[in-house]
Amino acid sequence: MPHLPEHLPADLRDATRRWIADDVDDRTRAELTTLLEAAAAGEHGAVEDLADRMAGPLTFGTAGLRGPVRAGTNGMNTAVVVRTTAGLATWLAARHPGGIVVVGRDARHGSETFAAATASVLWAAGFDVRVLPEPLPTPLLAYAVRALGASAGVQITASHNPPADNGYKVYDDTGTQIVPPADTEIERAIAEAPAAVSVPRAGGSTVLDGELVESYLDRVATLPTGTARTLRVAATPLHGVGGAPLRRALHRAGFADVHLVAEQAEPDPDFPTVAFPNPEEAGATDLLLRLAADTGADLAIALDPDADRCALGARDSDDTWRMLSGDETGVLLGEHVLATCRTPDPLVATTIVSSSMLAAIARAHGARHALTLTGFKWLARAGERLVYAYEEALGVCVDPDGVRDKDGIATAVLACDLAATAAAAGRTLFDLLDDLALRHGVYLTDQVAPRFGEASERAEVMRRLRAGPPAELAGVAVSAEDLAPDADVLRLTGDGVRVVLRPSGTEPKLKAYLEVSAPPPADGDLARARSAVAERLAALRDAV
C-alpha cells in the first residue's frame, strides 16, 4: 500500500484499506486501490468519489438492495453480495434450516457473478440451493419458490433502474417479496456478518433444467378464457430477459403472429436504444409503436428489463398508436378477470395511489376489493381468494396462485386474450375503456413529482403539509388523512377529487398522485364528460 498524504481523511483512508483487505474479488480490489491512490495523489474528484463509494452500506429494504455496480461498501459488488447473503443465511437458518433456496438472475452487468456468489454462500450455510439455468424474468423466480416449496428466493436484478445499477431481491417462503420486520431483521444480520473474505463459500448447488420454465409456460398458456387467437402483436423486452420467454408464452397460448423490436430483442446490459429502460419513460416505447404501425399490429406490448412489468399500446380512433396508462391497463384486465372468474367470493386489489375505478368494477361483479399501501409486497398479501391485483406503475398480477407478484409475461398473455376477443367482435381496447366509463364513470389520473436536492427538504414539505393541510384544492373542499406511522403518506380527498402525497422510495422526489372522477354521463356524451374531468384534473394539478 502506498504512502498516503495527510490531506486524505484518515478515517476514509483506513476504512478503504480494511475493505480492500477483506474484498474477495481481484477486480474490485484493484479498482478501489487505484481510486485510493488517486485520492492520495490529490487528483480532482477522487476523494469525493472514494467517500461516496465508502459511504454505505447500501440500505437493505423490502426491495432488497439496489445500487451502482462498483467497488466499495456503497455499491453492488461481490463482497457486498457475499456479506448480504451471509446475513440472509443467518436469518433463514433460524426459520427454515436446510430448506430450499432458489437463486435467479437477469442479464445486467455483474448478475452472473453475483448469483454465483449468492449460491455459494447459501450452499456453504447448509441450504439446498437451486439455481435457475440462465438469465430469466423475475416472475419465474417467484414462480419457482412456490412450485418447489422453497424457503426463500433471491433474484439478482435492478429491474428498470439505469444500466449502471444492479440489485438483490428477496422472496419469502410464500413466493412474495419480504415485508417488515423481515427487512430490518435481515439488515441487522448483515451488519453482524463477518468480512467477506471470512464468509464460508462452497460449490454444490443444483442448476435447474428447463422443466421448471416449461411448467411456468404451460401454466401461463392456460390463462386465456376466450377462443379468439387472430391477433398480430408487436413487442419489446427493452434489451431485457423477457423477449424469448414472452414469444414462447404467446405461441404456447395460441398467439403466433408476434414481432419483436429487432434492436431491443436480445439482452444487452447497456440498454443502448433507450435513455432509461422503463416503459413508463418518454421515448422508451418509440421503436415499439413504430413497429406496431409498420406491421399493422393489433396490440403493442412492452416489458421492463426483468419482465415483471407490462405496458400495453393500441391504435386509437384517430388511427394513431399510443401506450395505455397503468391505470387503463389495470382496470381493463381487472374487468376481464372478474367477468370470467369462477372463484367464489373473489378479491381484487390495488394500491392507494391507483385508480379508484377498480373498486366500482368489483362492486358491479359482487366481488371484494382491497386497497393497500404502494408496492406488490402489500398487494400480494391483500387477503384470501385474491384473483387479481395491479398498481399504476405497470405492475399486474393475473395469476396469484402461480406467481404472487407482478408478472409481465402472464399479463401479456391475458392482454392478448382480451384484445383478440375484442377484435373478433370488431372492437378495440379503447372501445372497452369507453364501456367501463359509461358503466362506472370517468376516472382520470395524473402525477406531480417535484425533485429535491436533499431528503431533508422533502421531509420539511411533508411536515408542513401535515401541520397545515389545505382545506380545499381546485375549488373542492378536501379532508386530510395521515397514514403515519404505517406509511409516510398524506391523503387528501373531496367530492370526486383525491390527492395522495408520499416521498419516493428510490429518487429524491415528493410524489403527488392525482385523481378526478365523475359519474357516468347521463346523456351518454362521453367525450364531453371526459373533457370536463380533464379540465378539473388540470386545475387540480395546478393547485398541487
Q: What is the pLDDT of residues 425-476, one digit of tens each?
A: 999 999 999 999 999 999 999 999 888 888 788 989 999 999 999 999 999 9
Residue 505 predicted with pLDDT over 80: no
Residue 523 predicted with pLDDT over 90: yes
Could you tell me where in the chain the CATH 3.30.310.50 domains are found? Answer: 442-543
What is the average per-residue pLDDT within 483-503? 94
pLDDT on residue 453? 80
Under the banding of pLDDT at 50, 70 and 90, the label for residue 205 is: very high
Could you tell me where in the chain the CATH 3.40.120.10 domains are found? Answer: 56-209, 214-440
CATH architecture of 442-543: 2-Layer Sandwich (3.30)
Asked if residues 470 and 492 have their Cβ atoms less than 8 Å apart, the reply is yes
The single residue of 111, 151, 159, 205 carrying the catalytic annotation is 159
User: Buried b vs exposed e over 152-167: b needs ≥16 C-beta within 10 Å?
Assistant: bbbbbbbbbbebbbbb
pLDDT on residue 213? 97
The bridge status of strand 476-482 relative to strand 490-494 is: antiparallel
pLDDT on residue 1? 45
Q: What is the pTM of this model?
A: 0.95
Residues 276 and 263: their CA atoms lie apart, in Å, by: 15
531 is catalytic: no
> Which H or E element spans position 361?
helix 357-364
pLDDT exceeding 70 applies to what percent of the chain? 99
C-alpha cell at 409: 409475461
The bridge status of strand 232-236 relative to strand 152-156 is: unpaired
Residue 6 predicted with pLDDT over 80: no
Q: What is the dihedral of CA 240, 244, 246, 247, to 10 degrees?
A: 140
Q: How far are the Cα atoms of 278, 466, 477 from residue 449, in angstroms, in the given order? A: 17, 18, 23
Exposed, middle or buried by CB within 10 Å (0-12, 13-18, 19+), for 60? Answer: buried
Return mean pLDDT, the chain: 95
pLDDT on residue 7? 76
Query: pLDDT of 309-362, one tens digit each?
Result: 999 999 998 889 999 999 999 999 999 999 999 999 999 999 999 999 999 999
ω into residue 133 within 30 of 0, thus cis?
no
What is the average per-residue pLDDT within 381-403? 97
pLDDT on residue 62? 80
User: Buried b vs exposed e over 397-426: b needs ≥16 C-beta within 10 Å?
Assistant: bbbbebbbbbbbbbbbbbbbbbbbbbbeee
Kindly give the residue spans of alpha helices, DSSP state H, lying in 23-137.
Answer: 26-40, 46-53, 78-93, 111-124
Under the banding of pLDDT at 50, 70 and 90, the label for residue 74 is: very high
Residue 217 predicted with pLDDT over 90: yes
pLDDT on residue 4? 43
* CATH H superfamily, domain 56-209: Alpha-D-Glucose-1,6-Bisphosphate, subunit A, domain 3 (3.40.120.10)
* CATH H superfamily, domain 214-440: Alpha-D-Glucose-1,6-Bisphosphate, subunit A, domain 3 (3.40.120.10)
pLDDT on residue 226? 96
Query: pLDDT of 161-184, one tens digit each?
Result: 999 999 999 999 999 999 999 999
Query: pLDDT of 230-264, one tens digit each?
Result: 999 999 999 999 999 999 999 999 999 999 999 99
pLDDT on residue 508? 79
- DSSP-derived secondary structure for 478-533: EEEEE-TTT-S-EEEEETTEEEEEEE-SSSSBEEEEEEEEEPPPTT--HHHHHHHH
Asked if residues 104 and 155 have their Cβ atoms less than 8 Å apart, the reply is yes
Length of the chain as a residue count: 544
Give me the amino acid identity at 20. Answer: I
Phi, psi torsion values for 154, nearest 5 degrees: -130, 125
**Residues 6 or more apart in contact with residue 352 via CB below 8 angstroms:** 371, 372, 373, 374, 483, 489, 491, 500
Asked if residues 155 and 113 have their Cβ atoms less than 8 Å apart, the reply is no
pLDDT on residue 506? 65
Under the banding of pLDDT at 50, 70 and 90, the label for residue 19 is: very high
pLDDT on residue 405? 97
What is the average per-residue pLDDT within 133-141? 98
